[in-house]
Amino acid sequence: MTTPPQTTVGAIRDGSWQRYLTFSLSTWVTIGLLIVVTALNVALQPTFFTTYSLTSNFATFAPLVFAAVAQAVVVIGGGLDLSIGSIVALASVVALTVMDGEPSRVAIGVLAAIVTGVIAGAINGFIVGVIRLQPLIATFATNSVFAGAALVVLPKPGGMVPSTMTTGYRSLVIGIPVSVLIVVLAIVLYWLLSRTRLMRHIRAVGGDRSAAFASLVPVVRVQMASYIVAGAFAGLAALAILANTGSGDPFVGSSMALDSIAAVVLGGIALAGGRGSGIGAVAGAIILAMVSTVLSFMGVPTTWRQLASGVIIVAAIALSVVMSRKDQR
């Protein structure tokens, strides 16, 4: 063959800057929605970009951001995790109990939250991957189990989070709010994960399970691992919640499973699996959280707020699903 060695078949060469702008349609929808809600927020709340406002806004977003990344990993792998909220609740009460308000035990508390999440994820992964129950049914059931376990650990809201955690969470590092950095951490963690063989295999299994099996992907192990990784992210979400609220609550995650699924869809991740990125889910979580702040600043009465936010979310999800259908063609 006498052709030049450089491969130039693709329209855009690897490594060129244009590559970073070749998004799919559904990614553009996510970016567009993010810009719209941010603009609305800024318009209604001129102090939005002050450090105080950023700190408190991101402090509220962060738990859902981590839960959304957790859900994203599972959904990309072709699964679904309805127990994310209960894992967050369980991990938070376990960490709270382990730390017992002692600033010196924060490190061990962080470890406890992550390990709790990993164990819960392993249980989900075993039931879905090895016993091969439908993810919907399996995690619906384990949702009750983990929620029940959380109640056993901490029967009613209370307890005290070490003050170093709560004050640290609302402080600044070189002028940047820590809560913002924590959301950035979620993005960095996902970015690192996306460069692992495991995440490549998760995408393959979610895309076509039997083709992945034929292509030497250890399908069962990969499926289990996706729930375990999700459990670890749920553990991080639990820590963010503790730092934000300052006390423990066994019921804390009740709306998180469905919120995380909504965030994942808003982030352009196909519920059918195989497609999308955890970074989209981060954007989805922020969109979701900002919709409710926008509504409160617009003066929508509290009685109407949930209804209004539901309608907006349905519309946004419909838009991103319709667009991702166009991507497929």
Partner 1 sequence: MASLDITGVDKRYGGVQALKGASLSVAEGEVHGLLGPNGSGKSTLNKVMAGAVRPDAATIRLDGQDLRIHGPQDAHHHRIESVYQQLSLIPHLTVAENLVLGTEAARAGWLTPKAQLVEVDAMLERLSPVLGGGIGPRTRVGSLNPGTKQLLEFAKVVLRRPRFLVLDEATASLHRDQVALLFAMVRELTAEGVGVVFVSHRMEEVLDLCDRATIIRNGLNVATVDVKDTDEQELVRLMVGDLARAAGRGERPAPSRDGQPVLSVRGLQAEGLADVSLDVHPGEIVGLGGLQGQGQSELLTGIFGASPAQAERIEVAGDPVEFRNPRSAIAAGLALVPGDRASEGLYSVRSIQENISTVTLGRRARAGLVIDARAEKEAATSQVDALRIKIGALADAVSTLSGGNAQKVVVAKWLLSEPRIVLLDDPTKGVDVGAKAEIYAIIRDLTAQGVGVILNSSDDVELAELADRVLVLYEGRIVQELEGTDVTHDNLVAAALRISDDDTKES
Tell me the C-alpha distance between 222 and 24, whole Å: 26
Cβ within 8 Å of residue 17, ≥6 positions away: none
What DSSP letter does each residue of 243-306 carry, written as one string?
A: HHHSSB-TTTTTTHHHHHHHHHHHTT--TTSS---HHHHHHHHHHHHHHHHHHHHTT--HHHHH
Query: Based on CB atoms, which residue is closest to partner 1, 94 or 270?
Result: 270
Tell the smallest beta-carbon distance from residue 75 to partner 1 (Å). Answer: 13
Tell the smallest beta-carbon distance from residue 213 to partner 1 (Å). Answer: 7
Query: Based on CB atoms, which residue is closest to partner 1, 118 or 147?
Result: 118
Query: Based on CB atoms, which residue is closest to partner 1, 3 or 302?
Result: 3
Per the CB < 8 A criterion, the answer to whether 60 and 269 are in contact is: no
Tell the smallest beta-carbon distance from residue 263 to partner 1 (Å). Answer: 20
Per the CB < 8 A criterion, the answer to whether 80 and 273 are in contact is: no
Tell the smallest beta-carbon distance from residue 32 to partner 1 (Å). Answer: 22
Positive or negative CA dihedral for 136, 142, 146, 148?
positive
Tell the smallest beta-carbon distance from residue 25 to partner 1 (Å). Answer: 13
- CA angle at 219 for the pair 217 and 223, rounded to the nearest 5°: 130
Query: Based on CB atoms, which residue is closest to partner 1, 152 or 272?
Result: 272
Query: Based on CB atoms, which residue is closest to partner 1, 93 or 232?
Result: 232
Binding residues (CB under 8 A) for partner 1: these are 1, 3, 5, 7-12, 14, 19, 195-198, 200-201, 203-204, 207-208, 210-218, 274-275, 328
Among 219, 217, 187, which residue's Cα sits nearest to residue 79?
219
Per the CB < 8 A criterion, the answer to whether 308 and 295 are in contact is: yes
Query: Based on CB atoms, which residue is closest to partner 1, 202 or 241?
Result: 202
Around Cβ 5, how many Cβ atoms within 10 Å? 5
Among 256, 245, 234, 260, which residue's Cα sits nearest to residue 87?
234
Around Cβ 217, how many Cβ atoms within 10 Å? 18
Cβ within 8 Å of residue 329, ≥6 positions away: none
24: helix, coil or strand? coil
Query: Based on CB atoms, which residue is closest to partner 1, 35 or 137?
Result: 137
Tell the smallest beta-carbon distance from residue 291 to partner 1 (Å). Answer: 29
Tell the smallest beta-carbon distance from residue 228 to partner 1 (Å). Answer: 13
Query: CA 265 → CA 270, 325, 327, distances in Å?
Result: 7, 12, 14
Tell the smallest beta-carbon distance from residue 183 to partner 1 (Å). Answer: 24
Query: Based on CB atoms, which residue is closest to partner 1, 21 or 197?
Result: 197
